[in-house]
Amino acid sequence: MGLDGPLTALRERLATARARSTCVVVDADAGVGLTTLLRAFVDGLGGDDGVHTARGLAWETSVTEAVLHQLVRGDVDGHDDLVGRLGCRSRQVTAVVVDDAHLADASSLRHLAGAVRHDPDAHLLLVLGRHRLPDADPVVLTVLDAAGDTVVDLPPLSPDDVAELAGRHGVALRPSTAAHLTRHTRGAPRAVVALLRELPRETWAQSTGPLPAPRHIRAVVQATLDAADAPTRRLVETVAVLGEPTPLPVVAEILGLSDPLAVVDAAAGAGLITARDGPGGTDLDAADPMARAAVLEGMTRTAVAAAHTTIAEAVAASDPSRALAHRARATPLPDPNLAARLTSAADHSGATGAWSTAATLFGLASRLTTDIQDRESTFLRAVDAQISAGDIASAADHLAAVESLRETPLRNSVLGYLAILRGRPEEASARLRRAWEMVRPAHDPESAATVCHRQVLHSLARCDGRRLVRWADEAVTLVGADHPVAVEVGAIRGLGLGATGRMREALVGYENLWDHNRVGPVGQRVQMGAGWLHLAADDVARARTELETAIPTDHLGGSTRIALWAHSWLARTCFVTGDWPAAMRAAQAGLALADRTGTRLMVPLLSWTVAQIGALRGDWETAERALRQGDSGSQDYEIMRVPAALARAAVAEARADYAAVLRALSPLTESWAPEDIVEPGFWPWPDVYGNALVMEGRLDDAETFLSPHERRARDRGHRSAQARLAYVRGRLLGARGEIDAAVDVFDDALATLVDLPLLHDRARVAFAYGQTLRRAGRRRDADVVITEARDHFRALGAITYVARCDRELKAGGVRAVIADRPHDALTPQEDAVAALVATGMTNREVAAELFLSVKTVQYHLTRVYAKLGIRSRAELAARRAQDGTTEPVTVEPG
């Protein structure tokens, strides 16, 4: 839960107070559980009489020493008197915990902070919990800012926390529903629990339905509104009806205010709206989703409809689509003429790729349509637009309604489209096949082209580039190159070309698309596709710029579906170039977006980066959690199964468990695996698999596997793929004793990478090179190369491999002082073997870690036993534990 981290931080400060008095300020937003946290901390102290608690009270903020009177029941004469009356020095630690310290009186806070400052040996722990409130007493806030030695932030609950909290109340939430509830409540535990208790269980069957305000929030908001004057109330209600951040001049025009600032200040000061200043001016919005819901619940339907009408009239000239939407919301009965206008506006929005707007307009049009078939068709188009926008959770909420409609090509196309984004290939295949069978291309080319578009996406997820290109070309044939559907498939077609070896043609195609689609949602799609392709083509700097541009969706009206792909490949781009903090940010932001929207398709791709970085950093908990999150079964799409396998292999390789690497990747060599996954640049797995074969001693299998991949990379002229495969070839040659040939291959690999910004690949090649040299007895050369690898890994933060490099350097023994070493002392390599065996590794695992044969490990282990006068692995572990040498000694370079 969200309290765990802050609670741990407070307990750590308790330990600090045993040595020196200290003050901790706990910062939290209102409603996120500050009181619960402080109570849990106090309860954990076991009811000790050395614990004192108090609470700031709003009506006592100006009362001198009010909080001190709660603590010591009387006046205080200076710091020494306070310390004595609290019982400090008579015990190890005395804890004073003040809740709502932002409401405490400044005099009490000064006394308490002074006791900490002036008597460090009093073993006093002072914990001051405060809410971040802009209208708090500035003098009190100044004292709190000065008092804290440490500040602990109490964050709101995450969607995972909310799901866990709901489970404790007997409600099982889907990830998208938990994310929706988290956004609505801003992660405030009290509000979450209130809604879980107040709403019927069936509420939680939907992921995105409107949620009310909890009763306690509604009461506060309504009381505040009742106390406000008429202009302020009207402003608050208008902002709530607008439903999104709106520029101040627009709101002023709607309300007819020539001088709106006083009204805005009054509403913001009451905590009913926010007024945020930005480069484009001031935007007004509800204070939070619960406040908006509370305001709307307090309005009559007539008042809400009147507000919508007023807004529609005010924005008709500047934003016709928005005006239509508000006019529709003000219309309670069917209106075919208005429905037709909404459909036309939705068509225009969809043509420009603004699918979120299109979904809203189609949905409103469906409600106002009288003809049953038109209503069903418009409703299906609304759901289709939600999927195009990436709002899979909302679309899935309508699944039962869609399935209940009569079977048409559009219905099957929508169901197939939804199945793709939910990661269900067999369902998608059946739905799309049926849609194509039912559609009549000659009579309805647009519907047929739409089915082609879904087949393009299905083929992309299947990693079937040839089929992707065929369906894309069919769509263009049906509706022409300038049709919105053709432009959309054109933004994907290049990926099919690249994955089938037609990289140059693909890149030229993106250049042509970019010349005609530089801005807006369509530009977002082109940028994403081009970025993905440039990453595969080793043009990583350009890829990063394009993918970063493809992520924002708020001001461009773009699709979160496209943003998810961009997050996924941006994370990989940052990973290969060594910017792992940015890679983690991109991947984790993408995972949060996937949770929020209910999109499953890209989750394994995003989790791959998190798992790999976690393993390389030695953060095994993060790595294992990411593996679970991205776990993919045999029924999932190939674009899910491949990165899931790569993630498992990356974690296994970081553990030097090469048998597990082979288990993870061997499915990619089976008959189900599509041809596209071996195309150089797209999926970097052949070098990982080939390396594992060599490390497992399967040299003939490695040769058989490696040769065709080398030929393909050479034929394509793909530099990084050639370098990665070359390090495997170098390992293989070294294992066969052809050390000079191995050196030439490794040198060529490093030369190939020298002007590519692929830091992780350079480190991997150097590490394999050094291991090969060391095994061949060229220890001084190995020392130089392993040191280079270690420097690269250290720069990346890959502590797992830094430790492995240290073991290699120690095993090489170049830096060991051997002149005066006793004859029965362990050699560096014997010591390295002994260290790993003592940790519980088998001989086979030690051999893989140190790139030795199993027989060599056994030879060294026998000599270790003889020199140390022991007979078993258990005795070896005990001896090294006794000597404090269980772990290998780190050898710093230089």
> Which band of pLDDT confidence, cut at 50, 70 and 90, is reported for residue 557?
very low
Q: Name 99's bridge partners.
A: 55
What is the pLDDT confidence band of residue 735, given thresholds at 50, 70 and 90?
A: very high
pLDDT at 558: 57
- pLDDT the model gives residue 190: 87
Report the chain's C-alpha Rg in angstroms.
33
pLDDT at 889 over 70: no
Domains defined for the chain, CATH in brackets = 4-154 (3.40.50.300), 159-205 (no CATH), 215-315 (1.10.10.10), 337-579 (1.25.40.10), 603-812 (1.25.40.10)
Cβ neighbourhood burial of 872 (10 Å; 0-12, 13-18, 19+)? exposed
Phi/psi-derived region of residue 372, left when phi > 0, alpha when psi is between -120 and 50, beta in every other case: alpha
- Find, among 490, 496, 458, the residue nearest to 679 by Cα: 496
Q: For residue 307, give the nearest of 285, 329, 286 by alpha carbon.
A: 329
Amino acid at site 255: L
Q: What is the per-residue pLDDT for 884?
A: 61
- pTM metric for this prediction: 0.77
Has residue 173 got a pLDDT over 80? Answer: yes
Give the number of other Cβ atoms within 10 Å of residue 711's Cβ.
11
Q: Is the pLDDT of residue 891 over 60?
A: no
Please, are residues 556 and 524 in contact by the beta-carbon 8 Å criterion? yes
pLDDT in the model for residue 442: 93
**Locate tokens 């679309």: which residue?**
395
Give the per-residue pLDDT at 893: 30
Starting at the edge strand found earlier in the chain, the sheet holding 273-278 runs 246-247, 281-286, 273-278
Q: What is the pLDDT of residue 407?
A: 94
Query: Is residue 821 predicted with pLDDT exceeding 60?
Result: no
Phi first, then psi, for residue 285 (nearest 5°) are -155, 165
The pLDDT of residue 599 is above 50? yes
Residue given tokens 């979450």 in the structure block: 192
pLDDT at 457 over 70: yes
Tokens for 70? 């709660």
Give the model's confidence band at 236: pLDDT under 50 very low, under 70 low, under 90 confident, else very high.
very high
- Kindly state the average pLDDT of the residues 71-82: 75
Greatest mean pLDDT among 130-134, 759-763, 780-784: 759-763
Q: Would you state the pLDDT for residue 641?
A: 95
User: How far apart, in whole angstroms, are the C-alpha atoms of residue 395 and residue 418?
Assistant: 8
Q: Which of 298-307, 318-327, 509-518 has the lowest mean pLDDT?
A: 509-518
124-131 and 246-247 strand pairing: unpaired
pLDDT at 799 over 70: yes
Give the pLDDT confidence of 359-386 residue by residue, as tens digits: 999 999 999 999 999 999 999 999 999 9
Residue 446, pLDDT > 90, answer: yes
pLDDT of residue 556: 41
Q: Give the three-state DSSP class for 24.
A: strand
pLDDT band at 334 (very low <50, low <70, confident <90, very high): very high
β-strand 94-99 against 124-131: which pairing, if any?
parallel
Contact 14, 117 (CB under 8 A): no
Which band of pLDDT confidence, cut at 50, 70 and 90, is reported for residue 589? very high
CA–CA dist 25, 39 (Å, integer): 15
| Cβ atoms 159, 178 nearer than 8 A | yes
Which residue matches tokens 């009093």? 122
751 to 541, 726, 764, 766: CA distances (angstroms): 19, 11, 14, 11
Average pLDDT value for residue range 348-356: 85
Quickly state the pLDDT bin for 816 (edges 50, 70, 90): very low
Is residue 820 scored above 70 in pLDDT? no
The yes-or-no verdict on residue 71 having pLDDT over 60 is yes
Is it the case that residue 868 has pLDDT exceeding 90? no
Q: Say what the pLDDT of residue 555 is.
A: 39
Average pLDDT over residues 607-630: 95
Confidence class of residue 762 from pLDDT cuts 50, 70 and 90?
A: very high
Residue 23 tokens, joined = 């003050």
The pLDDT, as a whole number, for residue 561 is 85
Per-residue model confidence (pLDDT) at position 554: 45
Taking residues 322-331, report their average pLDDT: 95
Kindly state the average pLDDT of the residues 640-644.
Answer: 96
CA–CA dist 875, 36 (Å, integer) = 50
From 683, 678, 753, 688, select the one nearest 712 (Cα to Cα): 678
Q: How many helices (H) and strands (E) does the chain have?
A: 46, 8
Q: How far is CA 615 from the centre of its chain?
A: 17
Q: How many percent of the chain have pLDDT more than 70? A: 94
pLDDT band at 516 (very low <50, low <70, confident <90, very high): low
* Mean pLDDT computed over every residue of the chain: 88
Q: Which of 215, 190, 219, 181 is nearest to 32 (CA)?
A: 190
Per-residue pLDDT, averaged over 244-268, amounts to 92
Is there a contact between 314 and 238 (Cβ–Cβ < 8 Å)?
Answer: no
Q: In what order do the strands lie in the sheet with 124-131?
A: 51-55, 94-99, 124-131, 22-28, 150-154
Tokens of 81: 């008197």
**Token code pair at residue 813:** 């023994």
Reported confidence tier of residue 794, pLDDT bands at 50, 70, 90:
very high
Closest of 817, 815, 813, 854 to residue 832, by C-alpha: 813
- Can you tell me the mean pLDDT for 64-83? 79
- Give the residue among 54, 19, 18, 61 at the shortest CA–CA distance from 38: 54
**Helix, strand or coil, per DSSP, at residue 463:** coil
Q: Are 615 and 793 in contact (CB under 8 A)?
A: no
Q: What is the pLDDT of residue 894?
A: 27
The vertex-573 CA angle with 568 and 579, nearest 5°, equals 110
Judged by average pLDDT, the poorest of 170-179, 420-429, 870-879 is 870-879
pLDDT of residue 845: 80
Return the residue matching tokens 């792909």: 565
pLDDT at 560: 84
Query: Which residues make Cβ contacts (< 8 Å) with residue 475, sequence separation at least 6?
Result: 449, 452, 453, 456, 485, 486, 489
Asked if residue 401 has pLDDT above 50, the reply is: yes
